[in-house]
Copies of this chain bind each other. A is one copy, B any other.
Amino acid sequence: MSLRTAWAYDGVVKPEQAPGSLIQRKQLRARQRIVDAADELFALHGYDAVSVTDIAARAEVGRTTFFRYFGDKTEVVFAKEQALLDTIAQASADDTVGAARDCREAVEQLRPTVLRLCGQVAEDPDAYERHADLVEKHLELRARDALKTQQLASNLSEVLRSRGTSQTIAVFAAQIALACYETARRRARTAADLVSESSAAFDEVLTLGSG
């Protein structure tokens, strides 16, 4: 399963024109207008009171355009997830790293990627807090968030597999890396702490057996 396939369950067409082309820039602007419109409307009226039609109207696009970029209203809330998956895909493209020989090496290989993810998530601290608050308040969003997070683990596992690491080791290391990420999300008091908390969790897990 390729990284793209793994993520494409929502059947949504992502901008796929040549990077920087006029069409692609137009697509990215439309997508961003939808995200901004949703953010504003959720803040004004609450998540439940806002419909896809409302969002499309405020973004000045049709419903068809909305559904070209997002599978449903829930997906707009997780608009930044694709950037996280792209970061993981970049790790796959790095062919200077070989197969991990054991679990420890596999976990260490995933560490820099998870720290990059934390850095990305924390880039806009206000947006991070707003997102976290919104998700926390809605069962449907918490469920989708939990699924997205498992998707990160699945793609992290694919990174190791693409380097020739065994499935047995890859699955374990990805879940451990995810555990460090989740620990950081729970321990961090602010977005700014995410990277250091994640790094601390990796330190702890990599010294578990040496105590």
Contacts and interface: CB of A to CB of B under 8 A. Distances in A.
Interface of A: 9-10, 102-104, 107, 139-140, 142-144, 146-147, 149-150, 153, 168, 171-172, 175-176, 178-180, 182-183, 186-187, 201, 204-211
Given A176-B205, A209-B208, A211-B102, A171 B183 contact: yes
6 contacts: A103-B204, A140-B143, A143-B143, A146-B150, A172-B205, A176-B176
A171 B147 contact: no
A171 B146 contact: no
A167 B158 CA distance: 32
A133 to B, nearest CB: 16
A171 B186 contact: yes
Given A146-B146, A179-B179, A104 B211 contact: yes
